[in-house]
A and B are shown apart, each in its own frame.
Chain A
Amino acid sequence: MAGCEYYEKLINALLDEGLTAEQEADLREHVRGCPSCRRLLTAVTAATRVLREEDLAQPPAELAEGVMARVAAAAEGAGPARPMAAPEPIRPRHSRSRRRSPWVRWGAAACLVLAAGGAVFALRGGLRGGAKSAAPQMAAVDGLANGAVVYQAAGEDASGAKAADAAIPEPAQAPENDENTSSGMDSTADSAMIAADEAVPEAAGDGGAVLPSPSPTPAAPVIIRDAARAEAGTVPTENREALLALLEGGQPAGGTAADWDMLFTADIDGLTYTFATDENARVLVWWDSVGTGPIRSGGTLDDLRALMVFAEPVLPE
């Protein structure tokens, strides 16, 4: 006779695809003599019935209005809308040390320090709280393996301050137009730092109703550390939404992280995204623990590179 584990699976199947007559009789027979499975059966059946009777919540009218206001603002070339909410303080990098082992394995160490919504986060020794209003301040980032290039970007000097100073509004195009930045591939450090000021007045005005308490601090661009290829660069602020769209909009892909070549990582809004590419130059992205989070393919390597502008690495002291 099968164990309770088998009957628990039958209970679950009962709620979904259903059981054959034999399975059902088998289950019924089992629960008669097994109080534990009987309780499970009654509890999950009751809970599932309640859930299936739940009505969907009615959204407020301002939902669609707010979406269309943001869409209209972005479509008019007023620049990308702001991130929906001010970012929460970011979990320090070292709390996710599990991510390191694959890097060691691949020896393709690469880090990316990401600035979002006016906050600049450090990969290591990160700001523990109140990051929102903090001046750009990046901790030294060390390579993770195999003598990876070590970069530093402190707020007072190097790319952080440069990026903030060079924040130039660039109102023309919606960020998903790759042509907008594809020429940036060969950019020098200076042009790499051209970044849109996220606080474009028109966009802020239109979006004011739906975007809670816009921060007066302009967001800094995403800053890339790609040690494996000794390149450092940025994803300009005006491309931030497009980058997120690329990350979030992809189709799920099978396999595990070990199947692909690593490119680099990006900390975005507190999540570490890992980028990889497959043999067709599709960009694969996942987050959460390396290799266990959802893996998606979103665009091609060219799509991704088009969003970035590369600069010389800032060498450590």
Chain B
Amino acid sequence: MTRDEEKNLIQRVLAGETELFETLVKAHERAVYDLALRMLGSEQDALDAAQEAFFRAWRALGSFRGDSKFSVWLYRLTSNVCLDMLRRASRREESSLTDEEGEDLELPDRRFDPQTELEKKELRAAVREGLARLEPSFRQALILRDIHGLTYDEIAQATGLEPGTVKSRIFRARRKLAAFLASGGNFSASGPSYTSEKGGGNGGRL
């Protein structure tokens, strides 16, 4: 769907062809759901969050002026829903990478140069685990940048942050992730993260 087609579709939905909203949902549900899933770590929560984000999008459709891409606007709504949910849960459970910044990377370089399929699989698992343990705002930035491929400007639009802040946040998120990988994925001092039930603890043993 081109941007013009999308604009046209939005106009028709606003004009009363409500059922056409489903086309917009279908076009973006994968991105929205994936972001929610990686932010929240649970399929049920991700489904709830994605539906809430789309519903809010429908509610606010009239205020979408096309200054940003529709997808970026949806990313913003989705991020807000997810961060709200995480914030509500955060009193119960702490994520673990908060204080690990600057941890020295002590392990041999070859850990990050997997040779076999098994090693690649383990590296992938470790990266996912580390991502899941990043604090939400850092996780959000990395997901949008490296998995969803947004530009810094788009991430700024999706988060309401200044581009410079986005840049430093991504930089710090990468450092934390790298430190997590180097540590062997065993940041257990502050307890399990809210995603630990699905991640397993074998992240860094490569």
Query: Interface residues, chain A, CB within 8 Å of chain B?
Result: 8-9, 12, 15-16, 36, 38-40, 42-48, 50-54, 56-60, 62-64, 66-68, 70-72, 74-75, 81, 84-85, 87-88, 90-91, 175-176, 210, 212, 241-242, 244-246, 248-254, 269-271, 286, 293-296, 298-299
Contact = CB atoms under 8 A, between A and B. Distances in A.
Nearest to A12: B171
A36 B178 CA distance: 12
B105 A43 contact: yes
B95 interface: no
Contact of B54 (A8, A50, A67, A245): A67
B77 A38 contact: no
Given A42-B109, A91-B91, A249-B64, A294 B18 contact: no
B84 to A, nearest CB: 6
B193 interface: no
B147 A56 contact: yes
Interface in B72-126: 73, 76-77, 80-81, 84-85, 87-89, 91, 104-107, 109, 112-114, 123-124
B178 A40 contact: yes
Interface in B21-42: 21-22, 25-26, 29-34, 37-38
B50 interface: yes
15 contacts: A9-B171, A42-B112, A42-B113, A44-B177, A63-B25, A67-B21, A71-B58, A85-B48, A242-B59, A246-B63, A248-B80, A249-B59, A250-B63, A251-B65, A254-B162
Interface centre among A251, A296, A298 (most CB of B within 10 A): A251
A119 B25 CA distance: 31
Contact of B88 (A249, A270, A286, A298): A270
Contacts of B197: none
B51 A51 contact: no
Given A47-B112, A50-B127, 19 more contacts: A39-B105, A43-B179, A44-B174, A47-B174, A50-B123, A56-B148, A59-B47, A64-B26, A71-B55, A84-B51, A87-B88, A91-B91, A246-B60, A248-B76, A248-B81, A249-B64, A251-B157, A269-B84, A294-B159
B62 interface: yes
A298 B63 contact: yes
A176 B87 contact: no
Interface of B: 18-19, 21-22, 25-26, 29-34, 37-38, 43, 46-52, 54-60, 62-65, 67-68, 73, 76-77, 80-81, 84-85, 87-89, 91, 104-107, 109, 112-114, 123-124, 127, 130-131, 142, 145-149, 152, 156-157, 159-162, 167, 170-171, 174-175, 177-179, 181-182
Nearest to A87: B88
Contacts of A54: 147
A251 B178 CA distance: 33
B127 A251 contact: no
A244 B56 contact: yes
A39 B48 contact: no
A191 B54 CA distance: 32
A62 B47 contact: yes
Contacts of A70: 51, 55
7 interchain residue pairs of minimum CB distance: A294-B160, A249-B60, A39-B105, A43-B178, A59-B33, A46-B112, A51-B146
Nearest to B77: A248
A60 B47 contact: yes
A286 B83 CA distance: 13
B169 to A, nearest CB: 11
Interface centre among B77, B91, B170 (most CB of A within 10 A): B91
B181 A296 contact: no
A295 B160 contact: yes
A241 B52 CA distance: 11
Contact of B131 (A51, A63, A294, A298): A51
B130 to A, nearest CB: 7
Contacts of A245: 56, 59-60, 63
Contact of B181 (A36, A46, A84, A88): A46
